[in-house]
Amino acid sequence: MQKALKLVQRLAKDEEGTALVEYSILLGVVAVACVALAVAVGGWSTGRWQALCNAIGTSGVGTINC
């Protein structure tokens, strides 16, 4: 039991492990934000291209399959 208590105390004083965990969490948050941004921009871009395709298709310029 004493060994386990000493191990917990030693790990509590260790700052390098704490920094690693903090940076890992930060990296995870940044990765999720990047994926969310890519999904949002992809949806916006698809909508804009679809609107352009529909506008060209109804203008009588030519036949476009959207």
For residues 66 and 50, is the Cβ–Cβ distance under 8 A? yes
Tell me the pTM.
0.56
DSSP state for residue 61 in the 8-state scheme? S
The pLDDT of residue 54 is: 84
C-alpha–C-alpha distance, residues 43 and 17, integer Å: 39
Own/partner pairs, 33-38, CB within 8 angstroms, 24+ separation: none
C-alpha–C-alpha distance, residues 47 and 20, integer Å: 41
The pLDDT of residue 64 is: 67
Tokens read off for 42: 């992809």
First CA to last CA across the chain, in angstroms? 71
Q: For the chain, which residues score pLDDT lower than 70?
A: 11-12, 14-16, 59-64
